[in-house]
Amino acid sequence: MTQSNVRPRSVLLVVGETSADRYGARLVRKLRALCGEKTVCFFGTGGDEMREAGVEIVCHIRDLATIGPREAIYHLLRYYRTFQLLTDACRERRPHVAVLLDFPEFNLRLAKRLKRLGIKVIYYISPQLWAWRRGRIRIVRQYVDRMLVILPFEEEYYRVRGVKVDFVGHPLLEDFVVDGDRESFLRDLGLDPSLKTIALLPGSRRREVDYILPTLLEASLEILRRLPAQFLISVAPAIETSQVIRIASKVLGQNRQRDCFRIVPAAARRILANSDFGLIKSGTSTLEAALVGTPFLITYRISPLSWCLGNILIRSPYKGLVNLIAKEEIVPEYLQREATPEALARAAVQYLEMPEKAAAMRARLAGIRDVLGSRCASDTAAALVAEYLEGNEC
């Protein structure tokens, strides 16, 4: 593709949550660099990072993120309207290719519609079919032209099931720089660098934060009954700080130890790098913690109905991403009923009071980066998408 092309080729990108927004923005920048600034244009759903990268946002991810079947019901009308907006835009603009990132409940349905419109579909960041709802492989095989996976074991999973697939590497590894200047980081927050510091990462979706943050805060108060500590509450980009303040105020109230807590809108990896332990919602942040090397536990809470529905469908022995990659339990998992403040506090205190236990986890976490490989996901994915823009796909 050259700068002499008269009409820019368009790409539809559809994401539904924060980490995919970051990965989508990187892909856009790589494609612009590869194909030329004026030869390609982008539209779809996304967040602030994709907007800054030059994507025309039809619907913002803050209006799409839910955490389970029950919660999704409340958003069906919004989902339907977004679905219609995207399909109408595709009929009008005729994008040369659609790149769908994660967000399977929405994107697999959209893939069907796009294929009926004659639009090539690339799926970047696979639905976790190997863990649950494996019957959806038929949808992928029929409506997805190419699957770009970010976990090495996913490549074989799709290939043996007849899906055209490429392992591109994990985008989290790109530019993964850790700011470990603990002294200045904590002092700037008015905290004591010599105290045990615990990171609280309640998630990147509003309903997740509503369910999980109160438990993390109650667990923190339990920890304070057993040892001196201070806590960093992470605020994901798609979360409003006011929501976190409201929940923290409700749980901590006038507790005299509320000064041990800080609400920190910094990058999760920076918070983790300057912490001794993490209480982390199951998801991408657990992989960040593994790459940083901070010991942590994995937790998750959701509405009872959503948990029951999801648990019936999940067939993997582990729920945490780090444990799935390692194929063994490196990090303890406390999910739903097991995720009590007392249980979380008990586990955290063990690691904080037993340096050899924390060191053993660090040593096992160190192998995760090796398993993920050294490929630059955005470069590899952009090169493959460019083949479809140029009509050279094979």
Pick 132 or 115 by higher pLDDT. Answer: 115
How far separated are the first and last CA of the chain, in Å rounded?
17
Helix, strand or coil for residue 96? coil
Indicate whether 310 and 364 sit together in one domain. yes
d(CA 77, CA 157): 34
pLDDT of residue 302: 82
Q: What percent of the chain has pLDDT over 70?
A: 91
Tell me whether residue 4 is in a domain.
no
Query: What total number of domains does the chain contain?
Result: 2
Domain assignment present for 63: yes
Domain assignment present for 272: yes
Asked if residue 130 lies in contact with residue 136, where contact means CB atoms within 8 angstroms, the answer is no
CA 47 from chain center: how many Å?
Answer: 13
pTM of the model: 0.80
Please indicate, yes or no, if residue 2 is contained in any of the structural domains: no
- What is the average pLDDT across 10-34? 94
Q: Name the residue range of residue 141's domain.
A: 9-173+376-390
Lowest mean pLDDT among 62-76, 143-157, 240-254, 345-359: 62-76
Among residues 150, 184, 186, the alpha carbon closest in space to that of 169 is found at 150
The mean pLDDT value for 130-137 works out to 78
The pLDDT tens digits for 292-331 are 999 999 999 887 766 665 564 456 678 788 998 888 999 9
List, in sequence order, every residue forming a beta bridge with 120; answer none if it has no partner. 97
**Residue entry with tokens 């002294």:** 183
Whether residues 164 and 225 fall in one domain:
no
148, 278: one domain:
no
Average pLDDT across the chain, whole number: 90
Exposure string for 355-374, b = 16+ CB within 10 A, e = fewer: eeebeebeebbeebbeebee
Tell me what pLDDT residue 59 has.
92
**Do 44 and 129 lie in a common domain?**
yes
Query: Max alpha carbon distance in the chain (Å)?
Result: 68
Q: What is the DSSP letter of 311?
A: H
Query: Are 249 and 354 found together in one domain?
Result: yes
8-12, 202-206, 295-299, range with the lowest pLDDT: 202-206
- Give me the pLDDT at residue 312, please: 45
Residues 164-168 have a mean pLDDT of 97
Is position 1 within any domain?
no
- Residue 314 pairs in a beta bridge with 132
CB count within 10 Å of CB 391 equals: 10
Q: Are residues 187 and 158 in the same domain?
A: no
The whole-number pLDDT of residue 175 equals 79
pLDDT of residue 313: 46
Question: pLDDT by residue (tens digit) across 116-125?
Answer: 999 999 999 9
Domain identity same for 234 and 333: yes
One domain for residues 115 and 188: no
- Return the pLDDT at 19: 83
Pairwise CA distance, residues 384 & 24, whole Å: 14
Q: What is the pLDDT of residue 314?
A: 56
Residue 136 makes CB contacts below 8 A (sequence gap 6+) with 104, 108, 127, 129
Question: Is 133 contained in some domain?
Answer: yes
- Confidence (pLDDT) at 375: 86
Whether residues 222 and 366 fall in one domain = yes
CA 129 and chain centroid, separation: 16
CATH number at residue 48: 3.40.50.2000
Residue 3 included in any domain: no
Same domain, 133 and 250: no
> Quick check: 260 and 226 in contact, CB under 8 A?
no
Verify that 203 and 132 share a domain, yes or no.
no
Residue 350 lies in a domain: yes
User: Residue 246: is its pLDDT beyond 90?
Assistant: yes
Q: What is the pLDDT of residues 37-89, one digit of tens each?
A: 889 999 999 999 999 999 999 999 887 765 455 555 667 888 889 999 999 99
Asked if residue 380 has pLDDT above 70, the reply is yes
27 and 147 in a single domain? The answer is: yes
